[in-house]
A and B are shown apart, each in its own frame.
Chain A
Amino acid sequence: MPERRLISFTVGSYRFAVPIEAVREVVTVASIVPVPGGRRPLEGILPYRGNMVLPVFSLLDLLGTRHDEPGKLVVITGPEADPVGFRVRNMGGVMITGDNNEIAPYEGELSLSGGAISGVLKKTGGELILLEIDRLFDLGTMVEKQKDHQAVTP
C-alpha cells in the first residue's frame, strides 16, 4: 500500500480520517441555510466564495446513523466546480500511513455505504475510521440511495 497522508476529525462520538488531498478547505460556519422541504442527510446550503452555494450534508446520516451534535466547522470536499460540505465537531492532526498492518476491517455500526469506509486505523490511540470521502459523496451513488430511500418510505 502506498504511503498516504491522512487528516482526522471528529463527528459526534466517531473519529474519522480521510486522505488529506480530499479536503479542499475547512471553514467555520455561523449558520447553514436550511432548504425548504429539505430532507436529511441534507442539512442545508452554505454560501461559498461569494458567488456559489454548496450543499452541507450530515456525514453520520449518510453512514446510516443519527446524532444531534452539529459542529461549527465545515469540511469542504469534492471537485472545485461541485464542492460539498459536511459538519465536524473538531479537526485532528495529519498522519502518514503506508503499512497494511495498520488497517483492520471495519466492524462497527456505521453502514459501509458503497465502500466509503475502507477500514480502521488502530495505532492512533483509539479507533480511527478510514473514510473514502469521494465514494461517499459520489453524485450518482447519492441519487440512487435517495431513490432507494424513497422507495421504502411510505
Chain B
Amino acid sequence: MADRVVIVRAGDYLVSLPFNHIDEILGADRIESMQDLPEGAAPEGSTDRHWVFSRGTWLPVGNLLPGTGVSDISQIVVVRWGNEGRAYAVDQVLGIEAPGEMAAFPDRAYPYTDVPVAGVRFWKNGPVLELDLSRLISLDLKG
C-alpha cells in the first residue's frame, strides 16, 4: 500500500509530509503572538514570534521551507517526531493522498540546499517535495 502523505502548498512549492507524523492541522486563527502567551508558556530567551497551542503544549510556528517565504498563511501543520513537536505555517493543506513511490533526492544536490528534502513524489502530474522530518525538526531546534 502506498504511503499516505499530507500535501501542502508552501509558497511556490508543493510539499508532502508523512501522514503518520501529522498530529494536528489548525487554522491560522489559532496563532498567538509572543506577547499574548500565558506567563511561562515560552521558554526563556525564545525569539519565536508566533505560537500555537496544541494538545496541551505551546509550540513555536516555524517556516516549513527555511529560506523561502510562505506567502499567504492559512493553516498550521503540527508535526510530531519522537518526543518533539513543531508547528509549521503553510499556505494551504491540499489533502491526504497516497501518491506514488518516492524518488530519492539526488546526493549531488544535497550540498546546494539547506532545506531537508528527502525525495520527490509525483501527484497530479507534478512533483511534490517530501521533507525529511527528523532533519527539519533538528534544524529547527538548532535555530
- Interface residue ranges, A against B (CB under 8 Å): 33-42, 45, 47, 51-55, 57, 82, 84, 137, 139, 142-143, 146-147
Contacts and interface: CB of A to CB of B under 8 A. Distances in A.
Nearest to A145: B111
A36 B14 CA distance: 11
A146 B112 contact: yes
Q: Determine the main DSSP class of A at the interface with B.
A: mixed
Nearest to B125: A47
Given A35-B115, A36-B67, A42 B129 contact: no
B113 A35 contact: yes
B101 A53 contact: no
B68 interface: yes
B55 interface: no
B108 interface: yes
Interface string B78-115: 00000000000000000000001101111111011111
Contact of B115 (A37, A40, A55): A37
Given A47-B122, A47-B127, A53-B127, A142 B114 contact: no
A110 to B, nearest CB: 20
A139 to B, nearest CB: 6
A136 to B, nearest CB: 11
A142 to B, nearest CB: 6
Contacts of B76: none
Given A35-B112, A47-B127, A139-B108, 6 more contacts: A33-B120, A35-B109, A36-B65, A45-B106, A54-B106, A143-B111
A20 to B, nearest CB: 22
A36 B108 contact: no
B113 A53 contact: no
A39 B67 CA distance: 11
A51 B107 CA distance: 16
Contacts of A82: 106-108
List the 8 closest pairs (A to B, CB-CB), nearest first: A37-B67, A42-B112, A146-B111, A55-B109, A36-B65, A37-B115, A55-B106, A36-B115
23 contacts: A35-B129, A36-B68, A37-B68, A37-B115, A38-B109, A38-B112, A38-B115, A42-B109, A45-B106, A45-B127, A51-B101, A51-B103, A52-B103, A53-B103, A53-B119, A53-B127, A55-B108, A82-B107, A84-B106, A139-B107, A142-B108, A142-B111, A147-B111
Nearest to B120: A53
A42 B119 CA distance: 16
B66 interface: yes
A19 B31 CA distance: 58
Contacts of A38: 109, 112-113, 115
